[in-house]
Amino acid sequence: MTLLVLLALSSNVVLGDSGDEPSQTSQTGSSESAVNRLIEQLGSETYATRVRARESLARLGLQAFDELHLAQYHPDNEIAMTARHLVSSLLVSWSKPSDSDEVRDILHEYGAQSVDERRSRIVRLSELPERAGLQALVRLTRFETSLDLSRVAALAIMQQDASDVVDRRKQNAQQIREGLGHSERAAATWLMAYAGDLQQGTYDAERWSEIVGKQRRQLDTASNQQTTRDSVLELVRVCVRHAWLSDKFDDALALATANLDLIPPTTRDLTEACRWAIENGLHPIVIELQKRHLQMFDAQPMLLYSAAEAIKAEGDPGRAQLLADQAMEIRPFPNDAAELEAISPNELEEIAQTHREIAQELQKRGLYEWAEREYRGIIDHLEMDASPSVSARDLLATMLADLERHQDVVDLLTPLIDRIESDDQLKNRLNALRFSYDEMRSNILWHSGLLKVQQGDVEAAKPLLVKAFRLRPANIDILISMFRLDQNDPNWSETVDLLLNQNIQRSKQEIASIEVMMKQQARFQPRGYELAQALNQYAWLVSNTKGDYEQALRFSLKSVELLPNDSALLDTCARCYFAVGDYKNAVLTQRKAVRLTPHSPPMLRQLREFEAKLEAESL
């Protein structure tokens, strides 16, 4: 069978050698009818007829792929089983000569990989710049034997940012249509509709409503094996986002609301749905979900906080605060000595752990006021030397530092440092838990210095920053603060330049050492992660101060290549572009970093800085 398929592919069509789809002659109505007749003969009562039909279909190879794929769900089991065998036997060359080297590398031996690895490669194709992986993704949508991965490939295309250039959008639409041919797969129909939107430059609400409706009807029919609730829900979300980006908010809201019943009534699914709705500005969806699942919302803090966030965004801060207060009290701390006596230390730590996790999630979503209240609840209700209290204080200090609330950082950490200095046992216990005493002292000095800078007392800031850096020389952000402090003081500049040169040379030596160890393939050799971090360290220091900016950019780009979707590395890369004067790429890269970490105050500040510079340069 495999030999027949190979002969058929070599004489008729091999995907990747002659195009994305079979020749036009193979797409005529008579050809399709002939294929369908052969498929029906697979269920013939005559053995010879079945064998001839099977061999003929094998010789046709990918020319019969679309019809054979549909036949896998034929009501005749004999036909369905043979069709599945034929589809799995096809040998596909997933790449083609016209593909870029990067695309060909990603698709190398694609068909031999596990489902998880193929899914990972689809993601990599979707992340290539300028939609370089578009045609390959269309190919996978049409010919991937796994319907689930076919849908993943199609949705990956639809989730990409469309070009602002009309001709480029139309070119992409044409590439999608040519690549899909006459495929009748569900994912192919999605892409055909999407190609229509690209061509017209707008979202066709009626067409998408029909497509989603058809998918929903399939959930309750015999063809349910081709359609899953998760796949329909994902399609709905992609369509909603597509409508939202096309400035059709009412259509986006209507489609999302009409399909809310697809969301399973579980805490995890409802939390994810709320997060998605808020990220896409669909706050009424969260409010509607709360109405439908009131009891579940009332029992789960993060669901209540989601509702509070949505209601606040809709203009009712008073009601939002009431819900936030309700969320805070779901697992309350003891209010008095009697209540404290009634619970065990382990129970108290579990309560603290719950509130810490909530605080971290709120912080991640940019809800800093509520996050701070959660952190301070832990600090206020536990002894200062309790591990959960120390952890909460440390996490809150980091958040306040990002918000540039320097006085609050000092006020928060100073009592703990005073306590540690008078309690060696506590210091040893915290060191065992990897809480660094010197790091906390350094942070107090650093933010005390930054506070002096805010107050205009630069001279008072200098010794504080020097002491902070001596305590923690690994924190190059302190050195960057020192560099920006006073360029008009020769003595200060000489001191800072000396420290800069030392750290830059040390960083280069670390990079070289890691690269040598990786080449030696030692038993405990560093991984790509360690190299990426070392490259990033050099790039961040140089791009924020002075030195070889071009080298910094090269190192940063290499680190991003090693860890493609790390927002911190992209943040550095954007700074490097800015340092070399490439303000357009600085803004584009910083926006990508912000998309990955949308509520980071430092990243948002840097984005505003870059956008302002780009706008000023364009005047």
Asked whether residue 8 is assigned to any structural domain, the reply reads yes
How many angstroms separate the CA atoms of 225 and 463, rounded? 70
Instruction: Tell me the pLDDT tens digit for each residue of 357-371.
Output: 999 999 999 999 999
CATH of the domain at 553: 1.25.40.10
Segment 557-578 mean pLDDT:
94
Q: Is the pLDDT of residue 188 over 80?
A: yes
Provide the number of structural domains found in the chain: 4
Q: Is the pLDDT of residue 26 over 90?
A: no
| Residue of 402 and 129 predicted with greater confidence | 402
Q: Which pLDDT score is estimated for 24?
A: 40
Mean pLDDT of the residues in the chain: 88
**Taking the mean position of all CA atoms in its chain, how far away is CA 267?**
22
- The share of the chain scoring above pLDDT 70, in percent, equals 90
Q: Which pLDDT score is estimated for 7?
A: 31
Whether residues 179 and 258 fall in one domain: yes
Q: Is 262 helix (H, G, I), strand (E, B) or coil?
A: helix
Cα angle for residues 38, 136, 561 (degrees, 5° grid) = 150
CB 5 within 8 A of CB 89: yes
Which of 269, 290, 307 lies at the terminal end of a domain, its last residue?
A: 307
Whether residues 560 and 511 fall in one domain: yes
Cα angle for residues 201, 279, 378 (degrees, 5° grid) = 170
> What is the DSSP secondary-structure string of 460-527?
HHHHHHHHHHHH-TT-HHHHHHHHTT-TT-HHHHHHHHHHHHHHHHHHHHHHHHHHHHHHHT-TT---
**Taking the mean position of all CA atoms in its chain, how far away is CA 103?**
21
Q: Which pLDDT score is estimated for 62?
A: 59
Using 50, 70 and 90 to split pLDDT, how confident is the model at 523? low
Q: Is the pLDDT of residue 109 over 90?
A: no
Q: Is the pLDDT of residue 91 over 60?
A: no
Asked whether residue 365 is assigned to any structural domain, the reply reads no
**Taking the mean position of all CA atoms in its chain, how far away is CA 439?**
31
Whether residues 146 and 270 fall in one domain: yes
Q: Is the pLDDT of residue 177 over 90?
A: yes
Q: Which pLDDT score is estimated for 245?
A: 82
Q: For the packed helices 147-158 and 134-143, what is the interaxial angle rounded to 10 degrees? A: 150
Whether residues 63 and 193 fall in one domain: no
- What the block records as the tokens of 374 is 């959660």
CB 172 within 8 A of CB 192: no
- Which among 330, 319, 316, 401 has a CA at the least distance from the CA of 363? 401
How many angstroms separate the CA atoms of 429 and 426, rounded? 5
Asked whether residue 464 is assigned to any structural domain, the reply reads yes
Instruction: Tell me the pLDDT tens digit for each residue of 338-358.
Output: 888 889 989 999 999 999 999
Whether residues 176 and 208 fall in one domain: yes
Instruction: Tell me the pLDDT tens digit for each residue of 459-489.
Output: 999 999 999 999 999 999 999 999 999 878 9
Whether residues 164 and 60 fall in one domain: no
Asked whether residue 7 is assigned to any structural domain, the reply reads yes
Asked whether residue 493 is assigned to any structural domain, the reply reads yes
Entry pTM: 0.79
Compute, in degrees rounded to 10, the torsion defined by CA atoms 74, 76, 82, 84.
30
Asked whether residue 288 is assigned to any structural domain, the reply reads yes
Give every CB contact of residue 332 below 8 A, 6+ residues apart in sequence: 351
How many angstroms separate the CA atoms of 119 and 218, rounded? 24
Instruction: Tell me the pLDDT tens digit for each residue of 257-278.
Output: 999 999 999 999 999 999 999 9
Whether residues 169 and 296 fall in one domain: yes
Segment 233-248 mean pLDDT:
90
Asked whether residue 364 is assigned to any structural domain, the reply reads no
Which of 89, 114, 129 lies at the terminal end of a domain, its last residue?
A: 89
| Residue of 281 and 164 predicted with greater confidence | 281
Asked whether residue 287 is assigned to any structural domain, the reply reads yes
CB 398 within 8 A of CB 601: no
Residue type (1 letter), 48: A
Q: Is 97 helix (H, G, I), strand (E, B) or coil?
A: coil
- What the block records as the tokens of 581 is 């004067």
Whether residues 489 and 422 fall in one domain: no
Q: Is the pLDDT of residue 542 over 80?
A: yes
Segment 145-153 mean pLDDT:
89
Looking up tokens 């699942």 gives 293
- Which among 553, 598, 158, 533 has a CA at the least distance from the CA of 590? 598
Whether residues 501 and 558 fall in one domain: yes
The CA radius of gyration of the chain, in Å to the nearest whole number, is 30
Using 50, 70 and 90 to split pLDDT, how confident is the model at 30? low
Whether residues 458 and 489 fall in one domain: no
Q: Is the pLDDT of residue 143 over 90?
A: no
Q: Is the pLDDT of residue 580 over 80?
A: yes
Whether residues 181 and 272 fall in one domain: yes
Q: Is the pLDDT of residue 415 over 80?
A: yes
| Residue of 319 and 15 predicted with greater confidence | 319
Q: Which pLDDT score is estimated for 413?
A: 97
Whether residues 447 and 521 fall in one domain: no
Q: Which pLDDT score is estimated for 156?
A: 94
> What is the DSSP secondary-structure string of 291-349?
HHTHHHHHH-HHHHHHHHHHHHHTT-HHHHHHHHHHHHTSSPPP-SHHHHHHS-HHHHH
DSSP assignment, residue 191? H
Length of the chain in terms of residues written: 619
Using 50, 70 and 90 to split pLDDT, how confident is the model at 549? very high
Segment 20-36 mean pLDDT:
53
Which of 287, 307, 327 lies at the terminal end of a domain, its last residue?
A: 307
Residue type (1 letter), 409: V
Using 50, 70 and 90 to split pLDDT, how confident is the model at 27? very low
Q: Is the pLDDT of residue 89 over 80?
A: no
Residue numbers of the domain that contains 431: 404-472
Q: Which pLDDT score is estimated for 77?
A: 82
CB 16 within 8 A of CB 103: no
Q: Which pLDDT score is estimated for 311?
A: 98
Using 50, 70 and 90 to split pLDDT, how confident is the model at 219? confident
Using 50, 70 and 90 to split pLDDT, how confident is the model at 521? low
Helices marked H in 131-185 — which ranges?
A: 134-143, 147-158, 166-180
